[in-house]
Chains A and B, each alone.
Chain A
Amino acid sequence: MSLGFVRWSALVLGLAGLALTVLFHWQVFFWVPTEASMGIVQRIFYIHLPAAWVAFFAFGIVAICSAVYLWLGIPKLDDAARSAAEGGMIFTTIVLTSGPLWAKLAWGTWWTWEPRLTLTLLLWFIYLGYFMVRGSTDSPERGKKFAAVVGIVGALNIPLIHLSVLWFRSLHPQPVVARTDGPQLHPDMLTTVLTALGAWTLVFLSLFLLRYATARLESAAERRPGVTVPAPARGGVS
C-alpha cells in the first residue's frame, strides 16, 4: 500500500467523517428527543459512548499489530500500533472528560472510584506507559518490543471495562446498546448514537492513516543519508 494511497484514503475518510459529524451534531442538538429523567445533559452520551467504542477499537488495533510485530518483526506494524495508540489515548481522554461532566449533574460528583471508571482510567495510564516504555531504553528496537508487550497486555483491560458494570455493583449505567437482548434505547436515540459512532470511526481512521503515513516517512527518512528526522515533542507522540 503506497503512501499516496494512504493519504488519499485518509482524505476521503476524513471528508466522509466530517459529513457524518454535521449530521450527528444536527441530530444531537435539533432532532433527538430529550431524555425524560436526565434531561439535556444526557446528550453527552452521544459523544461519550462512541468515543469509548472508538478507543477500544484503536487499542484493539494496537494489540493485534503489536502481537504480529512481535511474531514477524515487520516495522510497519509497529508504526501502525503507535499511530493507533495515539488515537486511542485521544478518545480515552474524551471518555474520561465527558463522563465526569455528565456525572456531576447525574450523580452529584465529578468522580467516583467505581469499577468502570477506575478500569478506564487504568487503561489510559497503561497506554501512557506504552509511549513511555518506547523511549525508556537505549535501543529503539528493544523499546518497540517492550511497548508491543504493553500494548497487548493493555488490551486485556477492554473486556473487563465492558463487563465491569455486569459483574460488580456499579454506579455507571448498564449497557443500553451492546446487550444480548438487543438495544434498549428509543429508536431516534439509537440512530443518533450510531451516526455519531460512524462519524467518530471515520475521523479516527482518517487521522490514524495520516499518522501512519507520517511514521512510515520517518522510518524512510531515518534510512536516507543526510536527513535529520525532527524529534517528537515528547515520548514518540506527534
Chain B
Amino acid sequence: MRRVRPFRTLPVLAGGALLALALVPILPGAGELAAQAGAPAPQMRQFWHVFIAYAIAWGLVFGWAVAIFRRLGRLEAQLDEGAAAHSHPDDAGSR
C-alpha cells in the first residue's frame, strides 16, 4: 500500500511560531514589563484586557490555520487512496 506523505508545512510553521514566541522575552527591554508587574489593581485589569485581546486574536488565527492543515491533510490522504484504488482496482477489493 502506498505510504501517504505527511504535509510538512504545519510542523515548520508551528515550530517557527513557538520559536518566535520564545524569543520575545529574551529580546532587549524584556525587563521593563516585568518591573510593571507590581502595578496597582486598575493597571493589572488593563493588562488582563490586553492579554485576553491578544490571546483571542492569536487563538482565532491559529484555529483557522489548524483547520486548514487538517482539511488539507485529510484531502491529500483521500486523493492518494483514490489514486491507488484507481490504478490497482484489484488491490482495492472493488469486486
Query: For the complex, is A47 an interface residue (Cβ under 8 Å from B)?
Result: yes
Residues of chain B within 8 A of A68, CB atoms compared: none
Query: For the complex, is A105 an interface residue (Cβ under 8 Å from B)?
Result: yes
Minimum C-beta distance from A5 to chain B (A): 13
Residues of chain B within 8 A of A18, CB atoms compared: 13, 16-17, 20
Q: Restricting to B21-65, which residues have a CB under 8 Å from any CB of A?
A: 21, 23-24, 27-30, 32-33, 43, 45-47, 49-50, 52-54, 56-57, 60-61, 64-65
Q: How many residues of A contact B (CB 8 A)?
A: 54
Known: A14-B13, A226-B82, A230-B71. A90 touches B49 (CB 8 A): no
Compute the total of residue contacts between A and B using a CB distance below 8 Å.
134
| A31, B52: Cα distance in complex, Å | 20
Residue interface bits B66-79, CB-to-A below 8 A is 1, else 0:
01110110111011
Main secondary structure of the interface of A (DSSP, over half): helix
| A43, B12: Cα distance in complex, Å | 29
Minimum C-beta distance from B13 to chain A (A): 5
B positions within 8 Å CB-CB of A: 9, 12-13, 16-17, 20-21, 23-24, 27-30, 32-33, 43, 45-47, 49-50, 52-54, 56-57, 60-61, 64-65, 67-69, 71-72, 74-76, 78-79, 81-83, 85-86
User: Which 4 residue pairs across A and B have the least CB separation, nearest first?
Assistant: A227-B82, A30-B29, A40-B46, A22-B20
